[in-house]
């Protein structure tokens, strides 16, 4: 029997690191029904299908809802859906929406909205795209029901529809979902537990969300993205504070209530404050990556990509990202370490002793002519900036004319979509990170695709990777899937679609008067209460 994606996750959940909370003398408290939250970066993009950026994903969870969701035990649960039925031949899934679903403008949510939203999602998300390759038709039954008719059975369909992280199959109004998937939506209206207050959105300053008083939560308790999304504050303000020392002071003074992602070097200081909790809310950890632009020189040549394998030291990246080796570990796998599809097959090229001479030799063999290499970075995103500085230094050591192009994270998210050359605003390398669920296997691992310009930013093109990924979906059992995943690993070290830099945990920090924080790989703000 095939292994479902939810089974993969259930089998591979990592033990969360315990964080000791030490007291100190800070006293200030904030009150009222407004939750003030420092997001991981500034919000400048609003379309969670156009980009995989996590700050955009988190924004989308505030205002949109999903048909199905994964709970903390990695089971798929109905969310906007009341449920579904499956035909005897396992080809037709009929999905019915639950009662009480309304858009923020008061109009009812219909099956036409769901159909259009899933279609747009499938054009950007690798898992969704594979599902839709097996879809014969998606048909409206009535305003509350629709059916997905498959060409052949696809056992992972519900896992795809319940995908918890980027890209998430959020449901949008039909008129919005008909926007070309390669263009950003112009209207931000959802049916979820919060309303986006567009008139108060000031990029670089704040984004505001108001409680959706018309939202009808499910009756089940919240668990990851599933269950009852009960909003216990009237208003949430996302406050942008790029300077980490200022952000730490604001949290200590009670001027803000929650800092989503404090840098590792400030975690010990925050932990000593008796009024602050520092916790790891991501049980699977995250993976940092170096992503190349495969369209243009010099990294369209695999030898240039291979060169970095000989000079990158994951322990350096771990320290740069997490501040302490106890907050993570090296991970010589393209699939999340600790999960069934993870493997170190072929990783000797990276785990062996570093060799500047080998790196320099590969650069010379590539025919590199000294052209400028642009490494994108975001100074308001420490995880990204630390990696960018380390990679730029490594490139310079092997004779590459590399420079860092700094901006904020929101600007980087826009620039990385540019397929032009550097002189036209393009780029050569950027860094990011993925939560463990997003790299766990070939179904969801977007940067491991080889589908060229139809793929994720960087546009890696390799027919062999695509053939192996298709074979993984068709494998008859877990052992066969594991073997194919190892073959993907081997090919990955040859063509280097990206480089994993480290596996780490991301602590979060909030005032002790904040209760109801959901332990999950995504930051959810429902169920959160301010005492």
Q: Tell me what pLDDT residue 1 has.
A: 39
Six token digits for residue 67: 């048909």
Distances (CA, A) of 102 to 63, 235, 432: 12, 20, 35
Q: Look at residue 25 in the predicted model and tell me its pLDDT.
A: 29
pLDDT of 21 reads 25
CA distance 24 to 26: 6
- pLDDT at position 506 is 85
| Segments of the chain assigned to CATH 3.10.105.10 | 286-504
Helices (DSSP H) in 272-425: which residue ranges?
302-309, 314-322, 348-351, 356-366, 382-397, 409-415
Q: Which long-range contacts (CB under 8 A, 24 or more apart) does 245-253 make?
A: 247/38, 250/38, 251/38, 251/276, 251/509, 251/510, 251/511, 252/26, 252/28, 252/276, 253/26, 253/28
| pLDDT computed for residue 324 by the predictor | 86
As annotated, the residues of the chain forming the CATH 3.40.190.10 domain(s) are 22-240+508-530
State the Cα–Cα distance between residues 521 and 14, nearest whole angstrom. Answer: 12
Quote the tokens at residue 69: 């969701």
Residue 157: its pLDDT value, please?
98
* pLDDT tens track, the chain, 531 positions: 344 544 434 433 322 222 222 222 233 333 459 999 999 999 999 999 999 999 999 999 999 999 999 999 999 999 999 999 999 999 999 999 999 999 999 999 999 999 999 999 999 999 999 999 999 999 999 999 999 999 999 999 999 999 999 999 999 999 999 999 999 999 999 999 999 999 999 999 999 999 999 999 999 999 999 999 999 999 999 999 999 999 999 999 999 999 999 998 899 999 999 999 999 877 789 999 999 999 999 999 999 999 999 999 999 999 999 988 888 999 999 999 999 999 999 999 998 888 999 999 999 999 999 999 999 999 999 999 999 999 999 999 999 999 999 999 999 999 999 999 999 999 999 999 999 999 999 999 999 999 999 999 999 999 999 999 999 999 999 999 999 999 999 999 999 999 999 999 989 999 999 999 998 999 999 999 999
Q: How far apart are CA 394 and CA 316, in angstroms?
A: 11
Selecting from 3.40.190.10, 3.90.1640.30, 3.40.630.30, 2.30.40.10, what CATH number does the domain 22-240+508-530 have?
Answer: 3.40.190.10
Structure confidence at residue 231 (pLDDT): 98
CATH 3.10.105.10 fits 286-504, yes or no: yes
């Amino acid at each position: 029997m095939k292994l479902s994606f939810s089974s993969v996750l259930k089998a591979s959940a990592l033990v969360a690191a315990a964080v000791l909370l030490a007291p100190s003398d800070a006293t200030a408290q904030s009150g009222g029904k407004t939750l003030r939250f420092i997001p991981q970066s500034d919000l400048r993009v609003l379309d969670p299908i156009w980009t995989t950026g996590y700050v955009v994903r988190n924004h989308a969870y505030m205002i949109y809802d999903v048909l199905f969701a994964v709970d903390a035990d990695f089971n798929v649960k109905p969310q906007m859906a009341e449920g579904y039925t499956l035909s005897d031949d396992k080809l037709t899934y009929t999905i019915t929406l639950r009662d009480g679903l309304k858009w923020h403008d008061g109009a009812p949510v219909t099956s036409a909205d769901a159909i259009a939203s899933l279609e747009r999602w499938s054009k950007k998300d690798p898992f969704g795209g594979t599902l839709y390759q097996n879809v014969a038709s998606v048909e409206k039954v009535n305003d509350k029901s629709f059916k997905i008719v498959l060409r052949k059975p696809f056992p992972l369909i519900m896992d795809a529809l319940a995908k918890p992280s980027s890209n998430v199959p959020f449901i949008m109004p039909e008129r919005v979902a008909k926007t070309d998937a390669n263009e950003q939506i112009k209207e931000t209206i959802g049916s979820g537990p919060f309303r986006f207050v567009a008139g108060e959105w000031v990029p670089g300053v704040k984004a505001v969300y108001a409680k959706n008083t018309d939202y009808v939560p499910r009756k089940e308790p919240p668990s990851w993205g599933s269950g009852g999304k009960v909003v216990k504050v009237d208003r949430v303000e996302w406050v942008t504070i790029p300077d980490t020392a200022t952000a730490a002071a604001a949290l200590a003074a009670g001027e803000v209530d929650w800092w989503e992602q404090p840098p590792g070097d400030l975690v010990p200081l925050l932990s000593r404050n008796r009024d602050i909790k520092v916790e790891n809310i991501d049980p699977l950890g995250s993976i940092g990556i170096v992503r190349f632009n495969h369209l243009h020189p010099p990294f369209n040549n695999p030898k240039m990509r291979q060169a970095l394998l000989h000079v990158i030291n994951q322990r350096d990246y771990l320290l740069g990202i997490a501040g302490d080796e106890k907050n993570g570990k090296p991970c010589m796998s393209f699939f999340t370490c600790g999960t069934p599809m993870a493997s170190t097959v072929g990783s000797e090229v990276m785990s062996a002793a570093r060799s500047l001479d080998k790196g320099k030799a590969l650069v010379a063999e590539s025919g590199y002519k000294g052209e400028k290499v642009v490494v994108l970075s975001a100074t308001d995103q420490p995880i990204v900036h630390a990696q960018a500085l380390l990679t730029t230094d490594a490139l310079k050591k092997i004779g590459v004319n590399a420079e860092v192009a700094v901006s904020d994270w929101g600007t980087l998210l826009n620039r990385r979509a540019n397929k032009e050359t550097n002189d036209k605003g393009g780029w050569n390398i950027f860094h990011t990170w993925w939560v463990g669920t997003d790299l766990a296997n070939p179904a969801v691992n977007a940067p491991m695709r080889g589908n060229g310009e139809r793929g994720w930013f960087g546009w890696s093109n390799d027919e062999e990777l695509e053939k192996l990924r298709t074979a993984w979906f068709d494998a008859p059992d877990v052992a066969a899937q594991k073997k194919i995943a190892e073959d993907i690993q081997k090919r990955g070290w040859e063509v280097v679609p990206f480089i994993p830099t480290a596996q780490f945990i991301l602590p979060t920090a909030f005032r002790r008067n904040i209760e109801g924080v959901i332990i999950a790989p995504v930051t959810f703000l429902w169920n959160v209460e301010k005492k």
